Amino acid sequence: MRIFLNDDAHDVEPGTLAAALEALGYGGRKIATALNGRFVAVPARPATQLTDGDRVEVVAPMQGG
């Protein structure tokens, strides 16, 4: 199925947000996620099912001063 990660199209296996993030190289990274504009907390990712056309936003924390 096709999802959009930060506006870029990606083909992933049907499944969960956690599985898609792992497949796309985000496994184990400290990131914030949103699915179709709604925040998804880390504990909810394994139970969050994706559907074709979903929009996922990933934001990594930045350091600086």
The predicted pLDDT at position 65 comes to 62
Q: Where are the domains of the chain?
A: 2-59
Amino acid identity, position 25:
G
Q: How many residues does the chain have?
A: 65
What is the pTM for the complete model shown?
0.91
10 Å CB burial of residue 20 (0-12, 13-18, 19+) is buried
| CA atoms of 56 and 4, how far apart (whole Å) | 6
pLDDT tens for the 65 residues of the chain, in order: 999 999 999 999 999 999 999 999 998 899 999 999 999 999 999 999 999 999 999 998 877 76
The superfamily CATH assigns to domain 2-59 is Beta-grasp domain (3.10.20.30)
Strand pairing report for 2-5 and 55-59: parallel
